[in-house]
Amino acid sequence: MKPNTNIIQKNSSFYIIQEINILTLRLYKQIFRRPSTFIASIIQPLIWLVLFGSLFQNIPINLFTANMKYENFLIPGIIVFTSFNGSIYAGLPLIFDREFGFLNRLVTSPMLFKDSLLIASLIYITSTTIIQTFAIIFFNLYISKNIPYIKNINIILLIIILITISIASISISFAFLLPGHIEFLAILLLMNLPILFSSTALAPLSFMPYWLQIIACLNPLTYAIEILRYIHITEIINYKYQLIRTVWFNYNINNCLIIILFITITNFVIAKSIIQYKYE
C-alpha cells in the first residue's frame, strides 16, 4: 500500500509550525529574563524626540519645512528610527547562541524546515518592534492629539513591518558572517548614526548637498519616513502625491512602497541564502 501523502504533508506542516513556535517562545523567554534591551529601545527614541524637539522648538516654521513645526516634522523620523533601532539588534541572540554553542546543536538537529530559525527570529523581532513603535506613536498622540495616525494605522503598520524585516534580515546576516559579538556590536555602532543622519529623519532633502541626497535616496528609511510624514499632515492619502523630489527623479507614494518592498524581499533572500549556506 502507498503511504497517504496528505497525512505526511499535514504532519510535516504541524511539526514545522511547532519548530517555529518553540524557537520564537525561546526568544520571548530571553526578553522576559533580560528586558533592559527592550526598554532601552523605547527610551532612546523618546530621548531623541524630547531633546531634538526642545532644541529646535523655536525655529521659524518656514525655515526647515513649510507650515509645520519642527517637532511635528521630527516625529515620523523618530517612529521609523524606533523600528530601525529595535530590528538592528535582531542578530544579537543568534550570535550569542553561536558563542555558547547552542546554535551548533540547532544546526545538527533534525529540523524539518531549515528556515525556521530565520522565520522565528523575524516573528520575534517584528512583534517586539511593533510594540516599541506603537509606544512612541501613542506617546505622540498623548502629546499632540494627532488623529491622522489612527485613521491610517494600517499603512503605518505595513511600513513598520517591512522596515523591521528588512533591517532584521541584515542584522541576522551579520550574526552568521561576523566572528563574534564584539565585531557585531562594532558594526552596529558604525551603522547606527550614519544611517539615521543620511535619511530625512532630521532634515528634508532640500537642505542636503547633492552627494548626501544621493545617499539619502539609497536609504530605505528615507522612503518610510516620507510616507509617515505625509500621513502625519493629511487624513486622505493620495498615492500619486510626489513625496521624493530631486533633480534626478520624483517618486510618489506608490513608488516609495514598491522600493521598500523590493529592498525587504532582497534582504530576506540574502539572509535566507546565508543561513542555508551555513547549514550546509
The residue type at 29: K
Residue 218's pLDDT is what? 84
Helix (H, G, I), strand (E, B) or coil at 251: strand
Q: Are 150 and 141 in contact (CB under 8 A)?
A: yes
Give 144-156 as a DSSP string: H--THHHHTHHHH
Residue 1's pLDDT is what? 47
Q: Which three cell numbers stand for residue 246?
A: 530631486
Residues in the chain: 280
The residue behind cell 513603535 is 133
Residue 225 lies in a domain: yes
User: How many folded domains does the chain comprise?
Assistant: 1
Answer positive or negative: Cα dihedral of 198, 243, 73, 148. negative
Residue 171 lies in a domain: yes
Block mean pLDDT (10 aa), the chain, length 280:
48 72 81 77 76 69 63 81 84 79 68 72 87 79 60 82 90 84 83 83 81 85 87 74 73 86 91 76
Residue 60's pLDDT is what? 62
Residue 81's pLDDT is what? 85
Eight-class DSSP state of 145: -
Residue 4 lies in a domain: no
Residue 7's pLDDT is what? 45
Residue 2 lies in a domain: no
Eight-class DSSP state of 152: T
Residue 226 lies in a domain: yes
Residue 5 lies in a domain: no
Residue 246: CA count within 13 A, CB half-sphere? 18
Eight-class DSSP state of 111: -
Residue 141 lies in a domain: yes
Structural domain containing residue 93: 12-279
Spatial separation of the C-alpha atoms in residues 48 and 78, rounded to whole Å: 7
Cut 0.95: pTM above it = no
Spatial separation of the C-alpha atoms in residues 171 and 271, rounded to whole Å: 9
Q: What are the residues facing 250 on neighbouring strands? A: 245
Residue 178 lies in a domain: yes
Spatial separation of the C-alpha atoms in residues 168 and 88, rounded to whole Å: 6
Residue 279's pLDDT is what? 64
